[in-house]
Amino acid sequence: MFKPLPVAIGLRYLRAKRRNGFISFISLASILGIALGVTALITTLAVMSGFQKEIRDRMLGMAAHATVSGYGQPLQGWRHAVQVALADPRVAGAAPYIEKEALISGASNQPAMLRGVDPAREGAVSVLPAKMVQGSLAQLTPGSFNIVLGKELALWLGCRWATT
């Protein structure tokens, strides 16, 4: 019976004679180590590919694919920029926002990224309206001082659900 050369060499050293028992041990340990390494690699790749869609959906659901901004200052003609962007058939949605770092005070002080949005346009560019557990973006009106908090930040600040 014909065996491929690598298999023949492997079996020869795996089934060494009594005086070469150490070579058999090293060969067996090497095979088990490689098998364990390949198993760990396959498991890690399977887990990462399973989470890839979830991570991508969560990150890209709130992050813009492209941003138009003023150089070192707020963009003055943002309405025109939104109109130009929406005129392009490749653009699915456009909405203005302002983003600043903030320190929010509650049960403890927590750093946060404060993002001011146009509630009427935000649904076209993010999943925020669909993911809100309570309330709606329509409640964000000028002068109302309402805020939308993420779950983790609300827990850190010690916030409770408002009953409106």
**Residue 101 and residue 58 share a domain:** no
Per-residue pLDDT of 104-115, as tens digits, reads 888 888 888 888
Domains held by the chain: number: 2
For residues 81-96, give the mean pLDDT: 89
pLDDT interval class at 116 (50, 70, 90): confident
Where in the sequence is the domain holding 146, given as residue range(s)? 96-157
Does 124 map to a domain? yes
Please report the pLDDT score of residue 19 as a whole number.
65
Q: How far is CA 141 from CA 18, 123, 137, 146, in A?
A: 85, 15, 9, 8
Please report the pLDDT score of residue 161 as a whole number.
66
Angle at 121 between CA 120 and CA 127, to 5 degrees: 105
Does 69 map to a domain? no
Round the average pLDDT of the chain to a whole number and report it: 82
Does 83 map to a domain? no
Whole-structure pTM value? 0.56
Neighbouring CB atoms inside 10 A of 123's CB total 16
**Residue 103 and residue 54 share a domain:** no
Does 75 map to a domain? no
Please report the pLDDT score of residue 36 as a whole number.
95
Does 38 map to a domain? yes
